[in-house]
Homo-oligomer: A and B are copies of this chain.
Amino acid sequence: MRAYDHLLKYGIRPSAQRIAIMEYLLSHRSHPTSDEIFESLRGEIPTLSKTTVYNTLKYFTEKGVALSLNIDDKCARFDGYTHEHAHFLCEKCGRVIDLDMESSPKVSLLAGMEVNNMQVYLRGVCPECLKKKE
């Protein structure tokens, strides 16, 4: 019931679809795409529509219960863990990996600027792909 409680805590009406999507995000820390979530849940919820997945993820992002990541050129990826951390995209295998931040960047803001969100993205080759290369 953690997904259910999580949604309530963020003021989101917990429909079956929303619970399933939230549960998926909390139990899969792979930064899934809309399509991956849709394909994984359509067995469980046969009537599920791709539009619902898109709408719901957008709503989650607005409500602050999920992050929308733009690290991947092709499509958005989503993260149910919203505490401050950085993301690494492996350019070989495409995986997105969470990285802890020892210290967040200090940025010179302009006067009278409102900041709602910060993302730190790294790109390169993950340890596994580097090993395969040899």
- Total interface residues on A, CB under 8 Å, equals 41
User: B117–A122 contact, CB under 8 A?
Assistant: yes
Given A70-B73, A105-B103, A105-B105, A110-B126 contact (CB < 8 Å)? yes
Number of copies of this chain in the oligomer?
2
List residues of A (94-116) whose CB comes within 8 Å of B's CBs.
Answer: 97, 99-116
In the bound complex, what is the Cα–Cα distance between A130 and B111 (angstroms)?
11
A109: chain B residues at CB < 8 Å are: 99
In the bound complex, what is the Cα–Cα distance between A130 and B121 (angstroms)?
27
Residues of A that sit less than 8 Å from B by CB: 68, 70-73, 76, 86, 88, 91, 97, 99-127, 130-131
Beyond A112-B131, A113-B126, 17 additional pairs, beta carbon < 8 A? A70-B121, A86-B105, A88-B115, A97-B110, A99-B108, A102-B107, A102-B108, A107-B122, A113-B124, A116-B123, A116-B124, A117-B122, A117-B123, A118-B120, A119-B122, A120-B120, A121-B121
